[in-house]
Amino acid sequence: MGKKILVIYTGGTIGMVKDEISGTLKPFNFEDIYAHVPTLKFLKHQIDFYTFPVLIDSSNVDLKFWIELAECIEKFYEKYDGFVVLHGSDTMSYTASALSFMLENLNKPVVLTGSQLPLGVIRTDGRRNIINAIEVAASYINETAVVPEVSICFENKIYRGNRTFKNNASHFEAFLSPNYPILAEIGIEIKYNKDAILKRTQKKLSVIKTLDNNVVVLKLFPGIHPNMIRSVVETSGLKAIVMETYGSGNAPTDELFIKELEHAIEKNILIINVTQCKKGSVQMEKYETGKKLQEIGVIGGFDITTESAVAKLMYLFGKETDVLRVTALFKTPLRGEMTIDM
Residue 56: name the closest of 27, 19, 32 by CA.
Answer: 27
152 CB-near residues (< 8 Å, 6+ apart): 92, 93, 96, 111, 112, 113, 158, 159, 160, 161, 164, 175
Contact by Cβ (8 Å): 331, 325: no
Q: Is 193 helix (H, G, I), strand (E, B) or coil?
A: coil
Cα-based distances in Å from 118 to 25, 96, 115, 124, 175:
8, 21, 7, 6, 17
| CA dihedral angle for residue 184, residue 186, residue 187, residue 188, rounded to 10 degrees | 100
Whether 7 and 84 have beta carbons less than 8 Å apart is answered as yes
Say if CB 26 and CB 19 are below 8 A apart: yes
Q: Catalytic residue at 201?
A: no
Q: What 3-state DSSP class applies to 272?
A: strand
What's the maximum distance between 2 C-alpha atoms anywhere in the chain?
A: 67
Beta bridge partners of 38: none
Percent helix, strand, coil in the chain, to 5, is: 35, 20, 45
Q: How many CA atoms lie within 13 A of 24 on its CB side?
A: 3
**Which amino acid is present at 105?**
N
Q: Are 212 and 246 in contact (CB under 8 A)?
A: no
User: Residue 133 carries which side chain, given as an amino acid letter?
Assistant: A
Catalytic residue among 10, 13, 124, 245: 13
The catalytic site residues sit at 13
